[in-house]
Amino acid sequence: MELSLSSSLHSTTPASFYLSTNSTSPPRQNLGLFSAAASNFSSRVLLKFNKSSILRQPRPVIVKSQSSSEITNDNDDHGFVLEDVPHLTSFLPDLPPYPNPLKYSQAYAIVKNTFVSPEDVVAQQIVVQKGSPRGIHFRRAGPREKVYFKPEQVHACIVTCGGLCPGINTVIREIVCGLHNMYGVDDVLGIQGGYRGFYSQNTIKLTPKLVNDIHKRGGTFLQTSRGGHDTKKIVDNIQDRGINQVYIIGGDGTHKGAAAISKEVEKRGLQVAVVGIPKTIDNDIAVIDKSFGFDTAVEEAQRAINAAHVEAECVANGVGIVKLMGRYSESPFYLEGQGGLLEYVEQRLKENGHVLIVLAEGAGQEYVSQSAQAVNGTDASGNRLLLDVGLWLTQEVKDHFTNVRKMEINLKYIDPTYMIRAIPSNAYDNIYCTLLAQSAVHGTMAGYTGFTVGPVNSRHAYIPINRVTEKTNTVRLTDRMWARLLASTNQPSFLQKCEIVRERADKETMEVIDDMRITSI
Ligand SMILES: Nc1ncnc2c1ncn2[C@@H]1O[C@H](COP(=O)(O)OP(=O)(O)O)[C@@H](O)[C@H]1O
Ligand SMILES: O=P(O)(O)OC[C@H]1O[C@](O)(COP(=O)(O)O)[C@@H](O)[C@@H]1O
Ligand SMILES: [Mg+2]
């Protein structure tokens, strides 16, 4: 049995490490953690349903911000809440609807239920208790009977922002092909180089022929960038070019930018639908089950972990260290003394002859900054710049065993981070990306705007953008998911007693907050 001390790639994970008795098992994915906190709940825009009437109407009727007391007192709908997405008609009431041409498309010719019922919604929580409020729901994604764009009027554009992630090219391809094959839309523009590409780069006309094979390649066909979001310049450009559908592929930062664009579009009263398609290998986007590319990344990470494992077990006192991406890693750990990482590594070496450590790039930053030149900076998008915890840990482990313990070890450090995110997506992610892209196309054609798409409890939904930007998914060390990992790997938590008490207290506080929130729905 080998020790592998790992952090989660899925990092979602605030936790720094996990130990695995089987280094080939992939890190577990984060399954849609409930992310609403009482503090921002009352300020959220909610559409309360009268189920029998409002749902039948194709567009939202009442959108209002409700105080928690209003929510508590309304028992008519058994606590049913729809967190709706904006519709172009909410600020352009005279916009005419048209019959959806989809049923005339080759693909849908024999489909019985072509359109999603306007009454279909997706529940955010599917584990409920008898008598509990019905809770938050999102509109189900999919084609609608009425559309608010004639195909020949559509001037769409696609932009990709932030870090790379397997599957971006599949999403681009499927938006272009979906618009063309399902709706007969021919005018799709690629904005090159991220947000700044709107105002500083050439554009490229995207056709099904041009993008036909791009899903087989890693990266983004359109290039990407960090920083450079200038809402005014971007919307000026959208207006100047006559663009009326904007498909924005990116992570949390990109979605903040998309929200700003959508607001500005509404302020100017433009018929422009803005949709975000959530992307990140960090799998830390709130509400949705899992972000595309994550599955591919986990698979690829295993190759690095396996290699480190082979290297470690084939020598005496072999130590393998693998660093994976995951910016926010908040689980504290310590090196020295009783219960520390070094003591545990030694114990594993004595028991098994080798040890494997997998850590998140965001882990232990406070230690690295003590020994290295602190950068304390941010990248062009405002994300914290990280010091190399892998190199730091490598040095610490070497020093400890060579100089303090006088033990000979054989250490190999592998940093596969950019290799992992630069590969093409696997079959699972390709199917997922196709669904995301087609859902986005149906949503914008139906006139929805300021939304993002993604699976919620396995059903694709239209989610208000602010829901995915207001909070980042993290793995809570006090949740059963983390305990399952510890139970599977038999690793210690590396938390000191006081931290365990603090974590538990946080959990209890969170539970009280959750209770308050549920009561108030
Ligand atoms: N708060 C924000 N408001 C507007 N634009 C933002 C904001 N945060 C990030 N962006 C823009 O979104 C783009 C991508 O953000 P970044 O954080 O690099 O990647 P990701 O979207 O993958 O999280 C960048 O061009 C950045 O300027
Ligand atoms: O070196 P870069 O390009 O800034 O990317 C590093 C970061 O990008 C990521 O892969 C993804 O981050 P985003 O989803 O915010 O783009 C992080 O895991 C990592 O910290
Ligand atoms: Mg991000």
- Which residue has its alpha carbon closest to ligand 2 atom 7? 163
Predicted pLDDT at 499: 60
- Ligand 3 centroid to Cα of residue 380, in Å, is 12
- Position 22 scores a pLDDT of 29
Nearest CA to ligand 1 atom 8: 253
pLDDT of 396 over the 80 cut: yes
pLDDT above 80 for 330: no
Q: Is beta strand 273-278 parallel, antiparallel or unpaired with respect to 245-250? A: parallel
Mean pLDDT for the stretch of residues 338-362: 94
Express as a percent the part of the chain with pLDDT over 70.
79
**Catalytic amino acids?**
282
- Residue 87 CA, ligand 3 centroid: distance in Å: 26
Average pLDDT over residues 231-256: 98
- Does residue 230 surpass a pLDDT of 70? yes
Q: Is the dihedral of CA 243, 246, 250, 256 positive or negative?
A: positive
- What is the pLDDT averaged over residues 394-414? 97
Distant-in-sequence contacts of 207-214, Cβ < 8 A, 24+ apart: 207/176, 207/180, 208/176, 208/177, 208/180, 208/181, 210/176, 211/169, 211/172, 211/173, 211/176, 211/177, 212/173, 214/169, 214/170, 214/172, 214/173
The pLDDT of residue 331 is above 60: yes
Give the residue-averaged pLDDT of 313-323: 97
Pick the atom of ligand 2 nearest to 282's CA.
18
- Band (pLDDT 50/70/90 cuts) for residue 60 is very low
Q: Whose CA is nearest to atom 12 of ligand 2?
A: 163
- Minimum-distance ligand 1 atom for the alpha carbon of 250: 21
Q: What is the reported pLDDT for 376?
A: 67
Higher pLDDT, 407 or 45: 407
Residue 244 CA to residue 429 CA, distance in Å, equals 28
Tens of pLDDT, residue by residue over 264-294, are: 999 999 999 999 999 999 899 999 999 999 9
- Among protein residues, the one whose CA lies closest to atom 5 of ligand 2: 163
Q: How confident is the model at residue 509 (pLDDT cuts 50, 70, 90)?
A: low
Flag whether pLDDT at 496 surpasses 90.
Answer: no
- Give me ligand 2 centre to Cα 163, in Å: 5
> Which has the closest alpha carbon to 146: 116, 191, 187?
116
Cβ of 140 closer than 6 Å to ligand 1, yes or no, is no
Pocket of ligand 1 contains residue 251 by CB under 6 Å = yes
pLDDT given for residue 497 in this prediction: 55
The length of the chain is 521
Rounded to whole angstroms, how far apart are CA atoms 246 and 239?
Answer: 11
Rounded mean pLDDT, 223-252: 98
**Tell me, what's the pLDDT at 476?**
83
Considering every ligand atom shown, identify the ligand nearest to the alpha carbon of residue 389 and give its number.
2
Q: Which two tokens stand for residue 90?
A: 């909410």
Starting from the CA of residue 280, give the closest ligand: 2
CA of 161 to the centre of ligand 1 (A): 7
Query: Which of 160, 161, 378 has most ligand 1 atoms within 8 Å of its beta carbon, as the pocket-test mutant?
Result: 161
Q: Is 340 exposed, middle or buried (0-12, 13-18, 19+ CB in 10 A)?
A: middle
Average pLDDT, the chain: 83
Centre of ligand 3 from the C-alpha of residue 161, in Å = 10
* Interface predicted TM-score of the whole assembly (ipTM), two decimals: 0.98
User: pLDDT-derived band of residue 53, with 50, 70 and 90 as boundaries?
Assistant: very low
Q: Which of 381, 383, 384, 465 to mutate to test the pocket of ligand 1 (most atoms within 8 A of CB)?
A: 381
Range 303-328 average pLDDT: 95
pLDDT higher than 50, residue 358 = yes
At 4, the amino acid letter reads S
Report whether pLDDT(301) > 60: yes
Task: Verify whether ligand 2 is closer than 6 Å to residue 379 (CB atom).
Answer: yes
Which atom number of ligand 2 is nearest to the Cα of residue 11?
A: 18
Question: Given a cut of 60, is residue 25 above it in pLDDT?
Answer: no
Higher pLDDT pick, 330 / 149: 149
pLDDT of residue 171: 98
Pocket lining: 277 vs ligand 1, CB cutoff 6 Å: no
State mean pLDDT over 361-382: 84
* Ligand 2 pocket check for 281: Cβ under 6 Å: yes
Average pLDDT estimate for 126-151: 96
